[in-house]
């Protein structure tokens, strides 16, 4: 990178995003270029680009853009320094703490999240399960997701971006979380399920949908969960057979966010009352106006439950 920084076009090509996306991130979230010479366009410094890389990766992992921007702005210097580098032996690894292991940053999250992070670095699935189960019983699924689980997942992602390590930590935490969320008692079978949750075609990240299913179950609302990588034809078959009032289609990345999947739901013979596009993969500006795009788990639940309760 040259000393005077990069232009918006160069940064867009480097990240694989549109220049308009960079403008949006700048205008809405304050993630813009900081280097400015009078009479010239502002230029992106190495630190600016590093924060944008954090933003891009977190949104691809299911974090809302506003939350991803907050994390990007306060990313540790070690993460920003190492983003985009290929680590060599002993280089770019997370800083160890006394007693071994790594310290996963959890931002302003509280002691429970820090405890979960410590258990995750030890690959201690029993402790992780106990922490999550206790939090769900005490504070509920939504609070556990927002204040405990999500900060730790984001922190692991930050360190992985810097070091290309901790994949095993992320996998075990995700698997343990999936088990805990799946164990939340479901409503009685006599209650009809009017909500259908599915990942977009080729989308493999289903944990946010599993959190939604568990949060619905905790308030006595049943749903059908199809899970990851649902082909459009299979999704339409399910809608035709079950006639749900609500369909939530989740996409983490633009590569799986094909608008025709949503169009099929809107034009099908058993169109749902509400079609919700969840996840950061969707470009809200390119979606049909009839599609809802909530920014958080709590907002998703409010919209879904209201539609499911309609006659």
The pLDDT tens digits for 102-121 are: 678 888 888 899 899 989 98
Same domain, 205 and 108: no
Both 94 and 175 in one domain: the answer is yes
Strand pairing partners for 29?
A: none
- Provide the token pair at 58: 């977190």
Q: Render pLDDT for 146-190 as a digit per residue (tens, 0 to 9).
A: 999 999 998 888 777 777 778 899 999 999 999 999 999 999 888
In a domain, 224, yes or no: yes
Number of domains the chain contains: 2
pLDDT above 70 for 91: no
Confidence band (pLDDT; 50, 70, 90) for 75? low
The pLDDT of residue 77? 52
Evaluate whether 294 touches 303 at the Cβ level (below 8 Å). Answer: yes
The two three-digit tokens of residue 230, written as one number: 């649902």
Per-residue pLDDT at 152: 93
Structure tokens at 134: 């206790």
Q: What is the residue range of 270's domain?
A: 195-308
Report if residue 228 sits inside a domain. Answer: yes
pLDDT at 221: 96
Please give the Cα distance from 246 to 310 (Å, whole number): 10
Q: Are strands 224-227 and 195-199 parallel, antiparallel or unpaired?
A: parallel
What's the CATH number where 178 sits?
A: 1.10.1240.10
| Length of the chain as a residue count | 311
Whether 116 is covered by a domain: the verdict is yes
Residue 211 CA to its chain's centroid (Å): 11
Structure confidence at residue 311 as a pLDDT band (50, 70, 90): confident
| pLDDT one-digit tens code per residue, 192-224 | 999 999 999 999 999 999 999 999 999 999 999
């Amino acid at each position: 990178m040259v000393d005077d920084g990069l232009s918006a076009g160069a940064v867009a090509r480097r990240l694989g995003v549109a220049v308009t996306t960079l403008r949006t991130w700048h205008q809405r979230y304050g993630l813009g270029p900081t280097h400015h010479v009078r009479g010239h366009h502002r230029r992106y410094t190495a630190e600016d680009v590093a924060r944008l890389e954090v933003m891009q990766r977190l949104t691809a992992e299911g974090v809302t853009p506003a939350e991803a921007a907050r994390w990007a702005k306060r990313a540790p210097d070690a993460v920003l320094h190492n983003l985009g580098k290929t680590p060599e032996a002993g280089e770019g690894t997370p800083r160890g703490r006394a007693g071994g292991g790594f310290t996963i940053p959890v931002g302003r999250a509280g002691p429970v999240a820090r405890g979960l992070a410590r258990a995750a670095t030890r690959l201690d699935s029993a402790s992780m399960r106990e922490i999550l189960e206790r939090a769900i019983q005490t504070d509920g699924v939504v609070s556990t997701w927002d204040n405990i689980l999500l900060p730790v997942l984001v922190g692991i992602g930050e360190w992985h971006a810097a070091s290309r390590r901790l994949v095993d930590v992320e996998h075990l935490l995700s698997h343990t979380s999936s088990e805990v969320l799946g164990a939340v008692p479901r409503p009685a079978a006599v209650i009809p399920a009017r909500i259908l949750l599915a990942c977009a075609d080729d989308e493999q990240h289903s944990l946010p949908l599993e959190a939604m299913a568990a949060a619905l179950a905790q308030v006595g609302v049943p749903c059908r969960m199809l899970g990851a990588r649902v082909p459009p034809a299979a999704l339409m078959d399910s809608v035709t057979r079950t006639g749900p009032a609500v369909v939530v289609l989740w996409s983490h990345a633009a590569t799986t966010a094909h608008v025709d999947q949503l169009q099929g739901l809107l034009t099908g013979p058993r169109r749902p009352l509400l079609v919700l596009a969840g996840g950061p993969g969707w470009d809200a500006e390119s979606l049909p106006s009839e599609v809802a795009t909530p920014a958080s788990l709590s907002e998703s639940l409010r919209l879904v439950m209201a539609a499911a309760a309609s006659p």
